[in-house]
Structure 1
Amino acid sequence: MNTEVPKISDFPAGKENTAYAQYFTGKSWLAPLTESKELNVPLSNVTFEPGSRNNWHSHTGGQLLIVVGGEGLYQERGKPARYLKSGDIVEIAPNVEHWHGATATSWFSHLATTGNPQTNENKWLEPVTDEIYNEANLQIKK
């Protein structure tokens, strides 16, 4: 597969996300967008190649995703998957186990930030199985 990152949004794709690769199936890219420690609103653009997704995980401070390009999926444990497209916003409450990533056929990019970043902790869990991922791709309603 050609892994040259296409331009799917006006935000930079950044560098390959090797620091968190152990928590992803497939490749992703990370571009931190904010720097101000005083403002305390960390914001990054995360880009996923087709088929890429992160593991089940949760955030003690919750998370906010703003979709800026491509087509993606979001799923909370025990609930149906949600299809995501540019302009969609996902508000994730604290400690909710979930995953997100690209559909099987499209690149995907979202901006991500966490609530309460001073105390937020990510809890990384098991990978999303191919069975769950494939089912999510079949369930999506475009």
Structure 2
Amino acid sequence: MEHVTITPTMQAPAERFSGDVYLNMIEPPSEPSRLTAALVRFTPGARTNWHSHALGQVLYITDGVGLVGTRDGTVVRVSAGETVRCPAGEEHRHGATDTNLMAHIALVVGDGNGDGTTWLEPVTDQQYAEALASRR
């Protein structure tokens, strides 16, 4: 057994997120495990860039209200206690609504070359506004 103490909260990198996003690593990738887990907190309006994961991603919502969307325009409104599974290779984005914060635990299994995440362009303000309008 290993007792891991609280990790420092870091601001998420601006090249991958819009708005104020904070994360605490729960399980950094380390051999032989390829699991990466992090608690990610989004302030109102904050969101990820478009991205995909080689082996998929699981998001467990711990607090607040958020949106998870895919390139085909599908958007789900999520709240505490809900889980979203993003399949391998699916381009998606997630974050808070404009009026509420949202926090989730992000679980990713790496592909042997890091966490297998491919980061893409930011979600535009128009795309975000459309997602909000579709889930009010």
The TM-score normalised by the length of structure 2 is 0.85
Unmatched 5+ residue regions in structure 2?
Answer: 1-5
- Give the CA deviation at 1:36: 8.1
The structure richer in strand per residue is 2
Q: 1:88 aligns with which of 74, 82, 85?
A: 82
Partners of 2:21 and 2:58 lie apart in 1 by 18
SS in 1 for 2:128: helix
Code of the aligned partner of 1:110: H
SS in 2 for 1:138: helix
Indicate yes or no: 2:117 matched with 1:122. Answer: yes
Q: 1:135 aligns with which of 116, 130, 133?
A: 130
Partners of 1:69 and 1:60 lie apart in 2 by 27
- Give the CA deviation at 1:135: 1.1
- Contact 2:65-2:101 within 8 A present in 1 as well: yes
Code of the aligned partner of 1:15: T
| CA deviation string 1:111-140 (max 9, x = no partner) | 001134534421111111111101111111
Code of the aligned partner of 1:69: D
- Give the CA deviation at 1:17: 2.2
- Give the CA deviation at 1:50: 0.4
CA RMSD of aligned residues (A): 2.0
| CA deviation string 1:66-87 (max 9, x = no partner) | 0000000000111321101001
SS in 2 for 1:136: helix
- Contact 1:71-1:86 within 8 A present in 2 as well: yes
Percent same amino acid at aligned positions? 33
Residue 71 of structure 1 is matched in structure 2 by: 65
Unmatched 5+ residue regions in structure 1?
Answer: 1-11
SS in 1 for 2:127: helix
- Contact 1:41-1:117 within 8 A present in 2 as well: no
Instruction: Report the count of equivalent residues.
Output: 129
Q: Matches of residues 1-142 of structure 1 in structure 2 within 5 Å?
A: 15-18=9-12, 20-34=13-27, 37=30, 38-119=32-113, 120-140=115-135
The TM-score normalised by the length of structure 1 is 0.81
- Contact 1:75-1:98 within 8 A present in 2 as well: yes
